[in-house]
Structure 1
Amino acid sequence: MELQTIIREFVTLFVVIDPIGSIPVFLFAAAGVSPSLHRAFAIRAVLTAAVVLLVFLVGGQFLLEALGLRLGTFQIAGGIVLFLFALSMIFGESKPEQEIEDAASEDLSGAVFPLAIPSIASPGAMLAVVILTDNHGTSFAQQAITASLLLVVLMFTLLALLLAGRIQRIIGAAGASVVSRVMGMVLATVAVDSVLVGLETMGVLNLSPVGG
């Protein structure tokens, strides 16, 4: 796998998982938990999210094939959904604000909801890991690299949660909102690229450089 591809996949995973954006959600969900248990709380949330995302990474395409769907169509649909998700990050309520509001109307289930799902293992993240792995077009080694990148992003997420109190004091709620919107712009770009790649996979477009 080329370095450019590795960087692109890492950026995609980092944006859709949004470790910084999960900090306010963690602080809210852990508010009723003893500070001595915050470390275990964060670890449990990240482990839960990791299991969910790895299941989608390994079995997501098998599900598509069982339904008789082509990867190209899923890439296009996934790109559209990711683009809409990016628009909500840019123009709507920021990720922390929306998820904290949703959680306030539900009985919290500790680290699983709303922290592991849908904050860390969001629908966008589940969709992204399926789009990034093609069981027919990528080798096991390439998929292992993608899985490793996912785990690296999740480790960064865990570190951010463990330092949540300090980070929140530094950037504040407004800072977390700004970061979320900037990541929305990056995600919008990734989403458009996914649609173009899907069209190329289906033979609708030829994105090869002219003269290449």
Structure 2
Amino acid sequence: MNELIATFIFFFAVIDPIGSVPVFISVTNNYNEKDKRKIAFKAVFISAIILLFFILIGELILDAIDIPLSAFQIAGGIVLFLFALTMIFGESKPESEIKSIKNTTETAIFPLAIPSIASPGAMLAVVLLTKNSIYSVWEQFQSSIVLLGVLSIVLVLLLLATKVHKLIGNGGASIISRIMGLILSSVAIANIIDGIKESFNLI
């Protein structure tokens, strides 16, 4: 149970559901409520497909190009750490992604599905948490369910975006995003340490 809670916190931190609310509000500002719901469902569905793809195929791709998981774990940890630093010290997720909004008909895909929900950090995270050498098929299935649970939270928040944004405001979303960044940075360092131990047989 503790491992599932830790996985949930990790996915929640890297996906940052609350941080997607201001982005969603900005890109759907000119849409009616029916279209907003369609965009929310489409964005979450596309994100789920992308992240589940990385769970199923990510490690196979690494094996095909002969990259050891320990190296990927170290590299992934470094990338996650840098990603977390941008959440803490740089522009928060809502601020940076709202600036990336341009005229586009595919608002559900960009910037909502990618990079707001299925961010590069999230793609790396799902691979690290479903390594075949460490996790059984059942454990990987459980992680997938937890991932879908976090994405369900994203969907609910997007459907309630207007109410949530009125409650926390851009400032609240920014604060939460930075807290998530701090949690994510700790997890990233742990992954780097584990990768180094595995590389040098220190476990």
Place the TM-score, normalised by the shorter chain, in its bin: over 0.9
Computed over aligned residues only, the root mean square deviation of the Cα atoms, in angstroms, reads 1.2
Q: 1:163 aligns with which of 152, 160, 164?
A: 160
Cα deviation for residue 108 of structure 1 reads 4.7
> Once the two structures are superposed, what CA deviation does each residue of 1:87-126 show, in whole Å capped at 9, x if it has no partner?
000000000110111123x635121111011100000000
Residue 86 (structure 2) aligns with? 88
72, 75, 85: which one aligns with 2:73: 75
TM-score normalized with structure 2 length: 0.96
Partner of 1:128: 125
Q: Alpha-carbon deviation of 1:204?
A: 4.5
Alignment of 1:83-162 (within 5 A): 83-104=81-102, 107-162=104-159
Aligned runs of 1:8-19 on 2, under 5 Å?
8-19=6-17
Q: Residue 185 in 1 paired to residue 148 in 2?
A: no
Q: Which runs of 5+ in 1 are unaligned?
A: 207-212
Q: Which moved more, 1:156-165 or 1:3-12?
A: 3-12
* Percent identity of equivalent pairs: 48
- In 1, Cα distance between equivalents of 2:107 and 2:80: 27
Distance, in Å, in 1 between the alignment partners of 2:116 and 2:201 is: 35
C-alpha offsets along residues 25-57 of structure 1, whole Å, 9 cap, x if unaligned?
A: 100111121122211211111000000000011
Gaps of 5+ in 2: none
Partner of 1:175: 172
State how many pairs are aligned. 203
1-side partners of 2:51 and 2:173: how far apart?
Answer: 24
Consecutive aligned runs of 4 or more in structure 1 exceeding 6 Å deviation: none
Give the TM-score taking structure 1 as reference length. 0.92
Mark the CA change 1:107 to 1:39 in structure 2 (over 3 Å): closer, same or farther: closer
